[in-house]
Structure 1
Amino acid sequence: MNRTFDASSHLIEQVRAALAEGNALRIRGGDSKSRIGRQVSGLELDTREHRGIVSYDPTELVVTVRTGTPLAELEQVLNEKNQWLACEPPHLGASATVGGMVAAGLSGPRRPWAGSVRDFVLGTRVITGLGKHLRFGGEVMKNVAGYDLSRLMAGSFGCLGVLTEVSLKVLPKPRAVASLRLTVDLPEALRKLAEWGQQPLPLSAACHDGEALHLRLEGGEGSVAAARERLGCETVEPDFWEELKEQCLPFFDDPRLLWRLSLPNACPALDLPGTQLADWGGAQRWLKSDASAEEIRAIAQKAGGHAICFDGGESPFHPLPEPLLRYHRQLKAQLDPQGIFNPGRMYAEV
């Protein structure tokens, strides 16, 4: 049985107490993504008691949920209506919460074709650094007042406020799914993906694991069957995509640091210092490496992208140019003027 409890009053009290006493707060949900970003010192603000689905209208394809709700619980409710979060957010642990999903802003293999977590956020309720509980955006696409600020919370790692509720767009699950495998090297895989990108194929994932290109097709039964026959690849079990999303493939067992390089869609194969896995049709390259951050980031930047270290450290996120860092500081000052929310989680200067 799903538990429901509104703990927003208690969370507001904790925030106001921290403001009065000048204490920093470390916002946490399930802590499944705590290794991403810099370590935060502060009093713990635990959101897990604030949980439950506030409203769900399958016909409108919208769900509003408290942020301490386990992500698995939300997905189970959606699955009962044959719907899902099409951005395919990773859990990275059984304790993952909806708030952590939005705060981290991580999306799965379907991201280039379906959109990111940010694209599915319609509205939020947030406790600000002034101790106010505000609502931004709405529960339907046509109610968009404050929409951009709601989307801004996605990927902010709790640095801008305490998320208490989020309204999300959901989608029906596809009628047919097929997973394929083609033994080619990465340069050939990227060439084929560029060619197939110009064709009406129902692709929803593409990953090269170092040995072969893995593809996923989703859509109507006829279109999936026709595409599968046209591509002529070996049909395999679909477990690969769940293991990729949750970082459970053998690639991720490597003890070296895990890096994620976000690159332009048409980026060619790169000579990276380590072992790589290309996701998102090549736009996301996972890298296991002992190379320095400077070397890895220089390669990513030269290719027009950036690199994040998923194993923490002093500077896990790609350094910002001064003008962009100034905007981050100004935004933080507006929403969290005393700097109490997850200070330094993303950048030491913010």
Structure 2
Amino acid sequence: MRAELHLNDDSERLVDEVARSFVRRAPLRIRGGDSKSHLGRPVSGAEIDTRSHRGVVSYDPTELVITARAGTPLAELNAVLDAAGQMLPCEPPAFGGAATVGGAVATGLAGPRRPWAGSVRDFVLGCRVITGEAKHLRFGGEVMKNVAGYDMSRLLAGSYGCLGLITEVSLKVLPRPRAQRSLTLELDAGEALRELAAWRKAVLPVSGACYLDGRLHVRLEGGTGSVAAAVDRIGGADLEMGFWEALREHRLAFFDDPRPLWRLSLPNSTPLAASAALPGAMLIDWAGAQRWLKSDAPAATIRDVAAAAGGHATCFTPLAGAEPFQPLAAPLLRYHQQLKQRLDPRGIFNPGRMYADL
């Protein structure tokens, strides 16, 4: 199957722009829809826009693989999948609707289904990328069996454009679940985490679990029988399915709080007390593994609490007076710098987007 709308190969222009920047040693700020430009450190450099390089290149629903150019709007990709009764299970956010496929992979952000379905990285089968030396290379393939260069494709997921300019991505997709149901229960946070642990052991078909304002919200997806049985066990009241989209896109009232937004990534077994001591408002997602915090607390305090629990903290609010990403240990920073040097020897791609020394 080939999409007919908005199909445009603009890779030659992108390669030419990178080549000129390589010669001049001029930095580039990679942009797609700019829906996530607030994440990371600011980048000084000429803008290179991927939005004209767009379109679904190939899609075979029987093989559960779709290949799209980087500038393809995420909404367009999802519409093609939805028409065939399929989906990208990691449900990356659009943050305003302008998100592109390349940006979704480059940032690696996933939605509420992530702990049960997998990360963006888990669904990347292959990619094409322009290196810092203006070489247009292909890594991986379009089927799970083709593993040549597979790790390189996954490495680009979550790299924030610091390693290369993604031009095309092949993604594994899955059929939409036959049954869906969302429930909400009134519980305290400790009870909610204990119930989630019990449901995990019972292998209930949970695909979303969020605790907010004294209520546990649960999404169930799977076969008709398994979802019905889970509803009988969990109980509670029905919840609109639109809640999960609002959570993924940060449209819940919780995110309107003017204080800086932090994302705490923690082991899902982390007791509530480990993070509850932080001042501010908290939303628990991913069955406890992701905790959104609205707080004016110092960055060092928030990161110390996250590290003590075996996790890390990321600041999602620009100019909040904090480095956005958890500082790297010296050996790990050297590894990142060596990798950057191999793929982008003159440091032209998104310099400093993740770390000042990268």
TM-score, normalised by the number of residues in structure 1:
0.99
Q: Which residue of 1 aligns with 2:323?
A: 315
Identity %: 65
| SS of residue paired to 1:341 | coil
Gaps of 5+ in 2: none
| SS of residue paired to 2:201 | coil
Tell me if structure 2 keeps the 8 A contact 1:186–1:210.
no
Q: CA RMSD in A?
A: 0.8
Tell me if structure 1 keeps the 8 A contact 2:41–2:353.
yes
Q: Which residue of 1 aligns with 2:341?
A: 333
Tell me if structure 1 keeps the 8 A contact 2:217–2:239.
no
Matched, 1:289 2:295: yes
Tell me if structure 2 keeps the 8 A contact 1:185–1:210.
no
The letter of the residue matching 2:232 is E
Matches of 1:39 and 1:236, distance apart in 2 = 39
Q: Which residue of 2 aligns with 1:227?
A: 230
Residue 272 of structure 1: how far off its partner (Å): 2.0
Matches of 1:289 and 1:219, distance apart in 2 = 37
Which of 40, 47, 51 does residue 48 from structure 1 map onto? 51
Gaps of 5+ in 1: none
Residue 2 of structure 1: how far off its partner (Å): 2.1
| SS of residue paired to 1:197 | helix
Matches of 1:17 and 1:312, distance apart in 2 = 30
Provide runs of 4+ in structure 1 moved above 3 Å.
none
Matched, 1:169 2:177: no
Matches within 5 A, 1:53-72: 53-72=56-75
| SS of residue paired to 1:145 | coil
Deviations 1:239-290 (A, max 9, x none): 1111000000000000010100000121110222210000000000000011
TM-score, normalised by the number of residues in structure 2:
0.97
Residue 114 of structure 1: how far off its partner (Å): 0.1
Deviations 1:81-115 (A, max 9, x none): 00010001111112110000000100000000000
Matched, 1:251 2:254: yes
Deviations 1:41-92 (A, max 9, x none): 0000000000001110000000010000000000000000000100011111
Matches of 1:164 and 1:236, distance apart in 2 = 39
Which of 142, 147, 150 does residue 145 from structure 2 map onto? 142
Q: Which residue of 2 aligns with 1:88?
A: 91
Which of 199, 208, 211 does residue 211 from structure 2 map onto? 208
Matches of 1:210 and 1:337, distance apart in 2 = 49
Which of 13, 19, 31 does residue 10 from structure 1 map onto? 13
Deviations 1:126-164 (A, max 9, x none): 000111000000000000100001001000000000000
Deviations 1:185-243 (A, max 9, x none): 11111111111111021111101013200000000111111110111121221111110
With 189-198 and 252-261 compared, the bigger mean Cα shift is at 189-198
